[in-house]
Chains A and B, each alone.
Chain A
Amino acid sequence: MRIATGGLIDREKPIRFTFDGKPVTGFAGDTVASALLANDILLMGRSFKYHRPRGPVTAGSDEPNALVTVGEGAEARPNTRATCQEIYDGLTVTSQNRWPSLRFDAMAVNDLLSPFLAAGFYYKTFMWPRAFWEKLYEPIIRRAAGLGALSGQPDPDRSEKAFAHCDLLVIGAGPAGLAAALTAAEAGADVILATEDTRPGGRLLSETVTLGDQTGREWADRMAARLAAMGNVRVMARTTVTGVYDSGTYGALERVAEHVMPGEAPPTCFWRLVARQAILATGALERPIAFPMNDRPGILSAAATRTYLNRYAVSPGARVAVFGNNDDAHRTATDLAAAGVTVAALIDTREDATSDGAWPFYPGAEVIETQGRLRLEGLTIRKPGGTLRIGADALAVAGGWNPALHLTCHMNGRPVWQEDIAAFVPTANAIPGLTPCGAALGTFSTAGCLEDGRRAAEAALDALGHSPKPIDLPDAEDTPYSPPATWAVTAPGRAWLDLQNDVTTKDVHLAARENFRSVEHMKRYTTQGMATDQGKGSNVTALAILADATGRTIPETGTTTFRPPYVPVPISSMGAGHAGKGFAPERFTTSHEASTARAAPMIEAGLWYRPSYFPVHGEKTWRESCDREVRMVRECVGVSDVSTLGKIDIQGPGAAEFLDLVYTGTFSTLKEGRIRYGLMLREDGHVMDDGTTARLGPQHYLMTTTTAAAGPVMAHLEFVAQGLRPDLDVKLTSVTDHWAQFAVAGPRARDLLNSLLEEEVTDDAVPFMSCWLATVSGVPVRLYRISFSGERGYEIAVPARYGAALWRLLVAQAESLGGGAYGIEALNVLRIEKGFITHAEIHGRTTAYDIGMQAMMSKTKDFIGKAAAARPGLTESTRERLVGLRPRDPANMPLPGGFLFTKGETPSRANAQGYVTSACWSPTLETHLALGFLASGPERMGETLRFTDHLRNRDFEVTVTDPVAFDQDGGRMRG
């Protein structure tokens, strides 16, 4: 119910939203939970396992119960905490894990079965038979136990990610965080102050404390305004620091626009904050007391009750009882009474407690039972002299505080037990550069937090090399806090710990009886703390009960730990911008538009897109186009874009010696204007890559790599240059994107060039494997006479800005000669006919010897991979070595991946003699052709083998041939 006055809500601004389709009105400043409570709606969810009716127990991100789905369609957000979600006009909120409705949930039958569904039930029952698990048990369990569902639609990927850097990151903006931020900011440090809340203030916004002559809220507002006005401070509201990573890196989730109707702004932004120093001022979380049937809607934490009361002007009930073991219970009763709410009873576990309030007071008493179904109706207490039933529609529980030390555990820091406050506190130096303070460190008075914040900031400033300036801190309450450790009430009935996962104190006792005595085992056996709230409220209590059940102290039993993220982070935030094209950027060549304009299907080659083939009118299959393009190159002339091959410019006095080291062959003897084929090994003796390298000048080479290996080869060359031979003066520059390069291949390739070049090309001037400079339409070009097709071939390179124009020119000229453009399908056929290798053959496990290039390994100089390539085992003739394969029936295609067997042997893996790596239909030779590796291959020419592909059910005979199937002496390309 709404209190008539007070609160940080704007009563001038009513907000209308819906809950399960019904209209609800709140005020600006309300959360979904506070607005629903204001409308006397306490039932907000159902528990995970037993589908028990539940209401909110907190007013923050530690909420285990009030999880709802917000919004509709693809942007719907399941499992949103109603206690954090701000309301806005038009918001739709839907309850979860219930059917057909929240008030009547058919699966609540699980609750009646609960005696059979204790901890470990699933483990014990659904073990056998195995097939039943997948087909029967799991689908049923998944349907019965669950949270909100995703929309099933593609994520709109509207979130963002960002980086920020600072001297000091202050996490939390309560009294300690504000004092710390102010101290550091006044000293001149660059400060980021991050608060999970919508505004700075922390508990000051929820309590009735005064600081000097101001209310807590007034002081917090003034501090926030003062900080916001400083140029060296960035206040980040709605920003939860979710994880701590190495070297002062912090992950943080900013809820940018989840509090307004979805529109232009990104819903969230995931930040990587890099801070030289950080201060943990995250406060503390109030913990529950486990008493029988402590889960009914209307039972909530005393701290949350004060938050609803003082911040939102909402009471969870008209008659509220308060139960606790410390003075917070009394504070809660006082605040309730001040707001005009009837305090039904104040129940204090301490026998010596006193109270002068105008309410029934029961010292030395405990709650032993509660009544009500969809909301609390009453409770039974045990007090000195007997039991008593009390009518109440809400119950506030003050069990003491657990420091919110979660982030200090993220780098393996283990919290330590502090007896006087019966709580874990952060271990010292758990995170390098992170100083905990205030309630997060176990300091609970307002004055103590202010002072502690200043102290922490001064320590951080010292580490940063800044001198602190004196700042004034106001006077505030300094009440001592030393509650007795009260974990559970001993009484019959189910007492709940983990409310979301329905773990009871009995489950923990059962785990202990079954010898799951380690806290890690107990946790997994019972699922305690494994829900979306990660046991923020209940873990310490469960640990204490396990300690009690096993007769050990809490420190003996173990410690609690937490991993990132502190709150659930949507995958769409962490991966923002990484869906679709953000996941795999596209690289286009300069001929891309012209290719797609010709309806060429584009195929991915790494991040590049290359044309498969260029269909012409009347062609029905890719094979028809490919065959035509191959014949065109063999008989006339074809043009192909080869810009995607890696190009590395190598210059310097040490360039020649450098190349001699990275290639198996010798490049220092290569003459200017000449090109040589190079084979590059890894240091372990296997082939890394191959390509041609041209010598453009005395100290200037241009290397080409395969498309796939361009990046790795560049890194490898840099390693050799920087790591192995820093004495060599050599500079490496990737120029792949700078040059557009086109292959012109076929008997009429020279004619085509001569139709464009200002200087005529003759074979005397430019023999095979030479390079020169020329001019096309006034643009200087580089020309290389090389061939990957086996035909007379040239590659012509222009600065990329001329690529599109040159491509159009080349294709037009080729077409006027009867040729045209060809794609990578034809390119692949042409090279298989010629036995030229690609990464299908140099797949990382083949040596120079395996591919028949042992002669290319220089005997007179060292090179990378030389020593290892000579190892026994890498040079044996029985190795699987490169061969050509031709099916006995030309119509059969030996598919890559299929295996080769000696005739008469069983086609099993153990008998495999080799495998196929590349295959095609050769229109030139009118047969299928393949390349592959065969044990002792070159010694088995002419042998008939059995080809078997078990996956695709192929089984036929092939004949072993030389890898070069067409123009074996190379006369066509040498011209």
Chain B
Amino acid sequence: MRLTCPHCGERDLREFAYKGDALALSRPEANAELQAWHEYLHIRDNPAGPTRELWYHTPCGSWMVAERDTATHAVHRTMTPAEATK
């Protein structure tokens, strides 16, 4: 599998670390309800299909969001976290 680092370009999978759902970018407000924090920390879907995932490109330290299909393994798009949360 190959992923495109927003900083370095397309690279082999083994340079990347999978870091879970891109939901982690949507940190609740500090004073949010405990339920919101619980969902942010623990609740994740496990879809067979399109997902938004966080990946870390170890050599350069870039985090990125990949739009990927878990059923076909197709990577549709990668972008910086800033682009993803615009």
Which A residues form the contact surface with B (CB < 8 A)? Answer: 163, 245-249, 272, 274, 411, 432, 683-684, 714-715, 718-719, 722-724, 726, 732, 862, 866-868, 871
Are B82 and A726 in touch, CB under 8 angstroms?
A: yes
Say if the beta carbon of B30 comes within 8 Å of chain A. yes
Are A683 and B41 in touch, CB under 8 angstroms?
A: yes
Instruction: Select A245's contact among B1, B30, B32, B72, beta carbons within 8 Å.
Output: B1
Are B75 and A722 in touch, CB under 8 angstroms?
A: no
A-B CB contacts (within 8 Å), total count: 66
Q: How far is the CB of A162 from chain B (nearest CB, A)?
A: 12
Cβ contacts under 8 Å, B80 to chain A:
722, 726
Instruction: Select A722's contact among B12, B58, B81, beta carbons within 8 Å.
Output: B81
Determine the residue in chain A with the shortest Cβ distance to B24: A723
Determine the residue in chain B with the shortest Cβ distance to A866: B30
Cβ contacts under 8 Å, B19 to chain A:
719
In Å, the complex CA distance between A867 and B1 comes to 37
A246 in contact with B2 given A411-B73, A723-B54 (CB within 8 Å): yes
Are B81 and A247 in touch, CB under 8 angstroms?
A: no
Are A868 and B41 in touch, CB under 8 angstroms?
A: yes
In Å, the complex CA distance between A503 and B27 comes to 59
A722 in contact with B37 given A246-B2, A862-B30, A867-B30 (CB within 8 Å): no
Are B32 and A163 in touch, CB under 8 angstroms?
A: no
Determine the residue in chain B with the shortest Cβ distance to A862: B30
Determine the residue in chain B with the shortest Cβ distance to A245: B1
Q: How far is the CB of A163 from chain B (nearest CB, A)?
A: 7
Q: How far is the CB of A953 from chain B (nearest CB, A)?
A: 40
A246 in contact with B1 given A715-B61, A718-B61, A722-B81 (CB within 8 Å): yes
Are A867 and B56 in touch, CB under 8 angstroms?
A: no
Q: Can you report 16 residue pairs joining A to B where beta carbons are below 8 Å apart?
A: A246-B73, A248-B2, A272-B12, A683-B40, A715-B17, A715-B61, A718-B62, A718-B63, A722-B80, A723-B54, A726-B80, A726-B85, A732-B61, A867-B34, A868-B37, A868-B41
A-B interface, 10 closest residue pairs, ranked by CB to CB distance from nearest: A246-B1, A862-B30, A247-B2, A726-B82, A723-B81, A246-B73, A722-B63, A718-B61, A867-B37, A723-B25
Are B61 and A714 in touch, CB under 8 angstroms?
A: yes
Which B residues form the contact surface with A (CB < 8 A)? Answer: 1-2, 12-13, 17, 19, 24-25, 27-28, 30, 32, 34, 37, 40-41, 54, 56, 58, 61-63, 72-75, 80-82, 85
Are A871 and B1 in touch, CB under 8 angstroms?
A: no
Cβ contacts under 8 Å, B24 to chain A:
719, 723
Are A684 and B12 in touch, CB under 8 angstroms?
A: no
Are A722 and B62 in touch, CB under 8 angstroms?
A: yes
In Å, the complex CA distance between A866 and B31 comes to 10
| Besides A715-B56, A723-B54, 5 other A-B contacts (C-beta < 8 A) | A245-B1, A723-B24, A723-B85, A724-B25, A871-B34
Cβ contacts under 8 Å, A867 to chain B:
28, 30, 32, 34, 37
A726 in contact with B81 given A714-B61, A867-B37 (CB within 8 Å): yes
Cβ contacts under 8 Å, A245 to chain B:
1
Are B1 and A247 in touch, CB under 8 angstroms?
A: yes
In Å, the complex CA distance between A732 and B85 comes to 21
In Å, the complex CA distance between A248 and B75 comes to 12
Determine the residue in chain A with the shortest Cβ distance to B72: A432
In Å, the complex CA distance between A868 and B37 comes to 7
In Å, the complex CA distance between A730 and B60 comes to 16
Cβ contacts under 8 Å, A715 to chain B:
17, 56, 58, 61
Q: How far is the CB of A412 from chain B (nearest CB, A)?
A: 9
Q: How far is the CB of A516 from chain B (nearest CB, A)?
A: 29
Are A249 and B2 in touch, CB under 8 angstroms?
A: yes
In Å, the complex CA distance between A248 and B24 comes to 30
Cβ contacts under 8 Å, A719 to chain B:
19, 24, 56, 63
In Å, the complex CA distance between A522 and B85 comes to 52
In Å, the complex CA distance between A577 and B44 comes to 38
Cβ contacts under 8 Å, A714 to chain B:
61
Determine the residue in chain A with the shortest Cβ distance to B74: A432
Determine the residue in chain B with the shortest Cβ distance to A683: B41
Q: How far is the CB of A965 from chain B (nearest CB, A)?
A: 37
Cβ contacts under 8 Å, A274 to chain B:
2, 12
Cβ contacts under 8 Å, B62 to chain A:
718, 722
Determine the residue in chain A with the shortest Cβ distance to B17: A715
In Å, the complex CA distance between A421 and B10 comes to 42
Cβ contacts under 8 Å, A722 to chain B:
62-63, 80-82
Cβ contacts under 8 Å, A432 to chain B:
72, 74
Are A249 and B73 in touch, CB under 8 angstroms?
A: no
Are B41 and A723 in touch, CB under 8 angstroms?
A: no
In Å, the complex CA distance between A493 and B63 comes to 65
Cβ contacts under 8 Å, B56 to chain A:
715, 718-719
Cβ contacts under 8 Å, A411 to chain B:
73
Cβ contacts under 8 Å, B27 to chain A:
683, 724
Cβ contacts under 8 Å, A248 to chain B:
2
Instruction: Select B1's contact among A163, A249, A683, A868, beta carbons within 8 Å.
Output: A249
Cβ contacts under 8 Å, B75 to chain A:
247
Q: How far is the CB of B75 from chain A (nearest CB, A)?
A: 7
In Å, the complex CA distance between A247 and B54 comes to 18
Determine the residue in chain A with the shortest Cβ distance to B86: A726
In Å, the complex CA distance between A878 and B34 comes to 22
In Å, the complex CA distance between A248 and B41 comes to 35
In Å, the complex CA distance between A257 and B58 comes to 35
Determine the residue in chain B with the shortest Cβ distance to A714: B61
Are B41 and A684 in touch, CB under 8 angstroms?
A: yes
Determine the residue in chain B with the shortest Cβ distance to A717: B61
Cβ contacts under 8 Å, A718 to chain B:
56, 61-63
Residue among B40, B41, B58 with max Cβ neighbours from chain A (10 Å): B41
Cβ contacts under 8 Å, B34 to chain A:
867, 871
Q: How far is the CB of A861 from chain B (nearest CB, A)?
A: 9
Cβ contacts under 8 Å, B1 to chain A:
245-247, 249
Q: How far is the CB of B73 from chain A (nearest CB, A)?
A: 4
In Å, the complex CA distance between A593 and B68 comes to 49
Cβ contacts under 8 Å, B63 to chain A:
718-719, 722-723
Determine the residue in chain B with the shortest Cβ distance to A163: B12
In Å, the complex CA distance between A807 and B41 comes to 46
In Å, the complex CA distance between A684 and B34 comes to 12
In Å, the complex CA distance between A218 and B25 comes to 63
In Å, the complex CA distance between A894 and B6 comes to 52
Determine the residue in chain A with the shortest Cβ distance to B68: A246
In Å, the complex CA distance between A714 and B62 comes to 11
A249 in contact with B12 given A715-B56, A718-B63, A732-B61 (CB within 8 Å): yes
In Å, the complex CA distance between A732 and B60 comes to 11
Determine the residue in chain B with the shortest Cβ distance to A724: B27
Q: How far is the CB of A860 from chain B (nearest CB, A)?
A: 11
